[in-house]
Amino acid sequence: MTTAAAPPVDLGSLWTLPGVYAPQADTHLLARALQAEGLTADMDVLDICTGSGALALLAARSGARVSAIDISLRAVMTARLNAARAGHRVRILRGDLTGPVAAQHFDVVMSNPPYVPAPHARRSRSHGPQRAWDAGLCGRESLDRICAHAPGLLRPNGVLLLVHSGLCGVEETLDRLTASGLRCAVTSRAFVPFGPVMTERLPWLRAQGLIGPDENTEELVVVRAQRS
C-alpha cells in the first residue's frame, strides 16, 4: 500500500475556469492509483465528478475510450477545453453522478467526489465552487450514491477507484461496496495538511468529534473495488 505523499503525477497543462476545482492532493493520489491499473487502448473508462478533466485526460493518454461526467457547466466546459488542448477525444457529459451513463459498462470507473462534511445539508448550497467539496453532515452524500450505483456500471473484473477523506468513514465505503459484491481494499493513503476549506471548518469539525484537538493533517484514502 502507498502511504507517503508521493511526488505529484504529471497531469499535463490544465486550465480551470473560475469556480472549477483545480487538481489537488486527492487528484494526485487517485491519479497514481489509476496509473497502477495499467490502462490499455481497448478499455472503457469513466470519470465521475471530472472537474478540470485531469483524471479523464490522464486515462485518455493510454488510448482508452474515456467518458467523464460533472454536474457543473463550468467544469464540463473546462474539461472539454482541456481535452481539446491536449488533443484527446473524451466524451464529457453534464449530469448527476452516474445518471448520464446508467445503462453503460466500463472496465475502470473512478471518482474524486465531494466528501467534506459540512454543517449544512448539501441541497441548501447546491451551486458555486463549494459544490466540489461540500457533502452534507457526514460527508457521504455523493459517496453513498456512487457506492450504490457504480458497481452496476462495472464489467466483469472491472475496477472502481474512489478517493475520499478518512473523515467520512472508510469502513462505511468498504462495507457498502462489499455488500454490492465487490472485493475491496484501501490501496493507498496519504496524510496532507488541512487546506483552506478544512481550516475554515476546523472548529465545527472538532465540535463534531471528527478531528481531534491536536490533529493537523487529513488522511486521504483510495478504495479499490473489483467486480468478480
Q: Which residues bind ligand SAM (CB under 6 A)?
A: 21, 23, 27, 49-52, 54-55, 69-72, 75, 96-97, 112-114, 131-133, 142
The minimum distance between CB 122 and ligand SAM, in angstroms, equals 8
- Which residue number has the CB closest to ligand SAM? 51
- Using a 10 angstrom Cβ sphere, with 0-12 exposed, 13-18 middle and 19 or more buried, the burial of residue 215 is middle
Residue 112 vs 173, nearer CB to ligand SAM: 112
**Three-state secondary structure string covering the chain:** CECCCCCCCCCCCCCCCCCCCCCCHHHHHHHHHHHHCCCCCCCEEEEECCCCCHHHHHHHCCCCEEEEEECCHHHHHHHHHHHHHHCCCEEEEECCCCHHHCCCCEEEEEECCCCECCCCCHHHHCCCHHHHCECCCCCCHHHHHHHHHHHHHEEEEEEEEEEEEHHHCHHHHHHHHHHCCCEEEEEEEEEEECCHHHHHHHHHHHHCCCCCCCCCEEEEEEEEEECC
The minimum distance between CB 76 and ligand SAM, in angstroms, equals 9
The minimum distance between CB 228 and ligand SAM, in angstroms, equals 27
Residue 34 vs 43, nearer CB to ligand SAM: 34
Residue 66 vs 69, nearer CB to ligand SAM: 69
First to last CA, the chain: 21
Residue 143 vs 177, nearer CB to ligand SAM: 143
Residue 105 vs 122, nearer CB to ligand SAM: 122
The minimum distance between CB 185 and ligand SAM, in angstroms, equals 21
The minimum distance between CB 83 and ligand SAM, in angstroms, equals 13
The minimum distance between CB 124 and ligand SAM, in angstroms, equals 14
Residue 75 vs 205, nearer CB to ligand SAM: 75
* CA–CA separation, 113 and 147 (whole Å): 11
